[in-house]
Structure 1
Amino acid sequence: MLRREDHYMIKQRHQQGAFIVDIAHQIGCSEKTVRRHISYPAPPTAKRGKKQVAKLEPFKDYIDSRLSEQVWNAAVIFEEIREKGYRGGSAMLRRYIHPKRPLRASKNTVRFETLPGYQLQHDWGEIIVEVAGSPCTVNFAVNTLGFSRCFHVFAAPKQDAEHTYESLVRSFNYFGGSVKTVLVDNQKAAVIKHGQNGNIEFNAGFLQLANHYGFSPRACKPYRPQTKGKTERMVGYVKHNFFTRYRQFESFSHVNQLLAMWLVKVADQRHLRQFKQTPENRFTEEKTALMPLPAGDFDTSYFDIRQVAWDSYIDVRGNRYSVPSFWCGRAVNIRIGLDNRLRIYGDEQLLVTHLLQEVTQGWQKVPEHHQALWQQVNRVESRSLSVYEELL
């Protein structure tokens, strides 16, 4: 059982918005114990009889030897001493081990600190909440500046390449500048594969994004998520803070509107105990080190090539869309934005814009596109009757 001081510290740290895992690490107990004390209205008390404590006495030397061997799992030790004749409970054993936990060898990963404006870490999270009155999976991209810990969140229906790139574009606009390196996980939107000798094949679209904003792409080693631990922690922070405050939304736009307010009022004001500052304070130093943004945003639209059929239509995602008949039999470029607008280009000129529709909505057409085709169909050749009289 924890001390009264530990109980009040848990309560205080929880009210400050600290993660349960951080509180457990600081106190030296399990996350389950932290949750239990958060639910208690007052510090629990217990009466320990001398007879019960005496049950553990013959086994303390053995327990200490196992702890010296770095065996700290109380459940394992409990089973071992039961086989040796221990008849007490596991709680007594845990109370004996708890004060010794500061002697445990640390398994913490050394955190790599970056210079201002040097690195941004990207990661995705997801959660099921209510959107437009129905349960919906909300995917959210978290982009965290390595120095200031200031981050931006973008909610989206998918974790595909277009939304990944859009999240980074919005983050750079939010911060007012770009960084020298962007560290990503191994999602296909950014990384095709890890080759030999540490060579990484990046997605062509991600390389275009990197070239547009002038950053160098970096990827975590496979099965090594600690590399981008700063943004990994922020994914959990968004889940347990923002999505605890808000559970119902009208649309994805509504999610992003609330996120924008929450970032300013809550996330940027959180206390960073290792720096004794807030992200907002540290960002004032990092902002001056960011690289300037290019003249225009990177186009995150999906792009492909289509062949225009004889009837002046192209196929896109199961439906058909009209194109000026002059392009029949020729190739055109298409771009699909996150606003579900289909833009069709020929010779780098915008030919037409359609709003994507379900197949049930029918083919999408512009009447003017088929005028030339109808003129050809309605053109009937006229001949003199003398031509037929000669045949007789």
Structure 2
Amino acid sequence: MAELLVQERDINGFAPLNWYNGKVVFNSGFLLLADHYNFLPRACRPRRARTKGKVERMVKYLKENFFVRYRRFDSFTHVNQQLEQWIADVADKRELRQFKETPEQRFALEQEHLQPLPDTDFDTSYFDIRHVSWDSYIEVGGNRYSVPEALCGQPVSIRISLDDELRIYSNERLVASHRLCSASSGWQTVPEHHAPLWQQVSQVEHRPLSAYEELL
């Protein structure tokens, strides 16, 4: 990983930074990324093409090369596998006109100047807060998902990964996980989450009549 990353203002609709009164303000999510990978973000000056990096038009290259070769994917894991193969066999083998070298050759020269990557990946999950209802569910995307009954009435945090895994946390502790489903699939319930509630109902239903006679 590079120690310094020179960043443009806008990347295909995503703005990691903005300028206010001549000062740069980085997006909070981008700063979390910089902290995780231990690089210093630096902003390109507006209308100063010389401050920009050499890597340009990568989206167009992907569309016209990778997505022409590979058109169907079973999962994000499959996409990543195909990308790794394409990078090794195609992208890293092409000659860069300006340098008269391939990316593979350039990387061999630059590798010793790079920092090692962290042991963990950066968490790209969508983050939000939910409140657990009285019946021990939370609502996400039009459907309901169970959580342990002890959390009824409490706030919990949720994280949704790119492959639609819903993880539910209470005080930073993972308490439940589900696969996201459409509302037509019905409420998603883990029976163990509600077992104590059913035990309470069972105790009420089987209470002997003598218990009520004491109240008369």
Asked if Structure 1 and Structure 2 have the same fold, meaning a TM-score greater than 0.5 normalized by the shorter chain, the answer is yes
- Correspondence for 1:329 among 153, 156, 159: 153
Alignment partner of 1:265 is 2:92: no
Q: How many residues align?
A: 210
Q: Which residue pairs with 1:298 in the alignment?
A: 122
Q: Does residue 314 in structure 1 map to residue 120 in structure 2?
A: no
Q: Measure, in 1, the Cα distance between the counterparts of 2:38 and 2:214.
A: 77
Relative distance call for 1:237 and 1:191 in structure 2 (3 A) is closer
SS in 2 for 1:295: coil
- Aligned pairs (5 A) from 1:20-59: none
Q: Does 1:248 align with 2:75?
A: no
Task: Give matches, 1:55-66, under 5 Å.
Answer: none
Q: Give the TM-score of the pair, scaled to structure 2.
A: 0.82
Could you tell me how far apart the structure 1 residues matched to 2:49 and 2:143 are?
A: 41
Query: For the Cα contact (< 8 Å) 1:189–1:203, is it kept in 2?
Result: no
Q: Does 1:193 align with 2:18?
A: yes
Letter in 1 for 2:173: Q
Q: After TM superposition, list the pairs within 5 Å mapping 1:106-121 onto structure 2.
A: none
Q: How does 1:174-253 map to 2 (within 5 A)?
A: 177-186=1-10, 189-191=14-16, 193-197=18-22, 199-220=23-44, 228=52, 230-244=54-68, 246=69, 248-251=71-74, 253=76
Q: 1:311 to 1:387 in 2, by over 3 A?
A: closer
The offset of 1:365, in angstroms, is 0.7
CA contact under 8 A between 2:126 and 2:159: conserved in structure 1? yes
* Residue 297 of structure 1, CA deviation: 1.7
Matched position secondary structure for 1:186: coil
> Is the 8 Å Cα contact of residues 6 and 44 (structure 2) preserved in structure 1?
no
C-alpha distance 271-224 of structure 1, shift in aligned 2 (>3 A) = same
Q: TM-score, normalised by structure 1?
A: 0.48
What's the CA shift for 1:178?
4.1
Superposed displacement of residue 220, structure 1: 4.4
- Asked if 2 retains the 8 angstrom alpha-carbon contact of 1:301 and 1:337, the reply is yes
Offset of residue 189 of structure 1: 4.9
Aligned-pair CA distance for 1:227: 5.3
**In 2: Cα distance, 1:372 partner to 1:225 partner:** 64
Which amino acid is 1:241 matched to? N
CA deviation profile, 1:72-93 (whole Å, cap 9, x unmatched): xxxxxxxxxxxxxxxxxxxxxx
Q: Using a 3 Å threshold, how does the CA distance of structure 1 residues 259 and 375 change in structure 2: closer, same or farther?
A: closer
Partner of residue 359 from structure 1, selected from 180, 183, 190 = 183
Change in Cα spacing, 1:193 to 1:370, as seen in structure 2 (3 Å) is same
Q: Any unmatched runs of 5+ in structure 1?
A: 1-176
Aligned to 1:277: 101
- Look at both structures and tell me which one has the larger radius of gyration over its CA atoms: 1
Partner of 1:374 in structure 2?
198
Alignment partners' CA distance in 1, 2:45 and 2:4:
19
CA shift at 1:322, angstroms? Answer: 0.5
Percentage of pairs with the same residue: 52
For 1:144-168, what per-residue CA distance to the aligned partner results, in whole angstroms no more than 9, with x for missing partners?
Answer: xxxxxxxxxxxxxxxxxxxxxxxxx
How far the C-alpha of 1:300 sits from its partner, in A, is 1.6
After superposition, the C-alpha distances for 1:129-158 in whole angstroms (9 at most, x for unaligned) are: xxxxxxxxxxxxxxxxxxxxxxxxxxxxxx
Rounded to whole Å, the distance in 1 between the matches of 2:169 and 2:203 is 30
CA contact (8 A) 2:93 2:102 kept: yes
Tell me, in whole angstroms, the C-alpha distance in 2 between the residues paired with 1:319 and 1:375: 26
Tell me which residue corresponds to 1:152. Answer: none
1:361 CA drift (Å): 0.7
Contact 1:321 1:365 (C-alpha < 8 Å) held by counterparts: yes
SS of 1:350's partner is strand
Cα distance change, pair 373–192 in 1 and its aligned pair in 2 (3 A): farther
Over aligned residue pairs, what C-alpha RMSD do you find? 2.7
For structure 2, the 5+ residue unaligned runs are: none
CA contact (8 A) 1:182 1:215 kept: no
Deviation at 1:191, TM superposition (A): 2.7
Residues 222, 360 of structure 1: alpha-carbon distance in 2 compared, 3 angstrom cutoff: farther
Whole-angstrom CA distance in 2 between matches of 1:192 and 1:375 = 54
Secondary structure of the structure 2 residue equivalent to 1:339 = coil
Inter-partner Cα distance in structure 2 for 1:299 and 1:252: 18
Query: 1:194 is aligned with what amino acid?
Result: W
User: Deviation above 6 Å: which 4+ runs of structure 1?
Assistant: 223-226
